[in-house]
Copies of this chain bind each other. A is one copy, B any other.
Amino acid sequence: MPQKTRIIGIDPGSRCTGYGVIDSDGFRHDYVASGFVKIKGEELPERLGMIFTEIGGIIEKWQPQTMGVEKVFVSKNIDSALKLSQARAAAICSGINAQLDVGEYTPRAIKKAVVGSGSAEKQQIQQMMKILLKLDFDPQNDEADGLAIAICHANHMHVKALGIATKVRGGRWR
């Protein structure tokens, strides 16, 4: 039975950043922790600093081995796309500071991984997290997204590991 990996998933936002921590072997996912950080402060460095520091603290507390982050999509509003991309960069830096690998996933890939459809609604993700991770509470929006990103990263890592194993068996890799 493959060993489980502890994964943190981050749903970055310039107002609220969600996170979810799971243990997973790619098939079974165990809930560890989740929550969200409300971003305060007037100036951008202060706000990015809050994301960097808070996510850093969460990493230190839960000791994940790897990180998944949602990829920025370009929205119609360039100002909010910029804010989002900066929030995301700060979250990635928290992971790098703790020497984690960081994987990126599009919103579509995340939805497909947990609901089976790339166009799933927010509520479907929340509901699916409750079922998949046997939660006895209703996760908040960004918190549910954090958990979904962690599961997407778990699946991706597992597929990648299987791919390498096949290659090793096929003799194409040393």
Contacts and interface: CB of A to CB of B under 8 A. Distances in A.
Interface of A: 43-45, 48-49, 52-53, 69, 72, 74, 78-79, 81-82, 85-90, 92-97, 101-104
Contacts of A53: 96
Chain A contact surface mostly: helix
- Copies of this chain, count: 2
Nearest to A88: B86
A44 B105 CA distance: 12
B81 A44 contact: no
A120 to B, nearest CB: 25
A167 to B, nearest CB: 20
B78 A45 contact: no
